[in-house]
């Protein structure tokens, strides 16, 4: 069952989601997302969608690495949590669980993160990763802490 609560502010208030902002997120995806080839397709406080190539993200058996799936899931859920946190706030991952369903050896996988809950201090997302035929590859749940500033001396991403 999906339980959805209202974000700390009305949806869209000071948040990314417009085409120009989506392009900005793709220009500054973060180092790991860039290395994995993650490309955002949609980003709203309620739903985040991205693709990731299997090529370049395989483990020694030639299969999509489970860690790459987990990184895709955490990237999508964290972006969703950030969009719910509001301006001047940061989202940091607290808990990620992943269940791997099937092997993928080529092509592109798609991740869809759907908001389960967003409050003042935490946000949770359900992330489903599928192959090009729409078959489940991995399901994840991410819980993020919403903070007033990034921890450990971290900085906010560039604005432009």
Token pair listed for 89:
């706030």
Cα separation values, 12 from 6, 8, 9, 63, Å: 12, 11, 8, 38
Nearest alpha-carbon partner for 146 in 93, 87, 91: 91
Catalytic, out of 9, 39, 74, 132:
74
Let me know if 74 is a catalytic residue.
yes
Strand-pairing partners, residue 100, are 138
**Residues designated as active site:** 74
């Amino acid at each position: 069952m999906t339980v959805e609560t209202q974000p700390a502010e009305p949806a869209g208030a000071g948040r990314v989601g417009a085409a120009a902002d989506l392009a900005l997120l793709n220009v500054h995806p973060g180092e790991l997302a860039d290395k994995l080839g993650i490309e955002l397709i949609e980003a709203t406080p309620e739903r985040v969608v991205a693709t990731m190539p299997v090529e370049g993200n395989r483990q020694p058996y030639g299969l999509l690495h489970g860690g790459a799936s987990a990184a895709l899931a955490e990237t999508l859920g964290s972006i969703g949590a950030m969009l719910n946190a509001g301006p001047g706030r940061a989202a940091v991952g607290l808990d990620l669980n992943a269940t791997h369903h099937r092997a993928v050896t080529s092509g592109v996988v798609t991740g869809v993160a759907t908001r389960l809950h967003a409050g003042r201090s935490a946000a949770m997302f359900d992330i489903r990763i599928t192959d090009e035929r729409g078959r489940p590859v991995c399901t994840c749940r991410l819980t993020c802490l919403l903070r007033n500033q990034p921890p450990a001396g971290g900085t906010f991403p560039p604005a432009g």
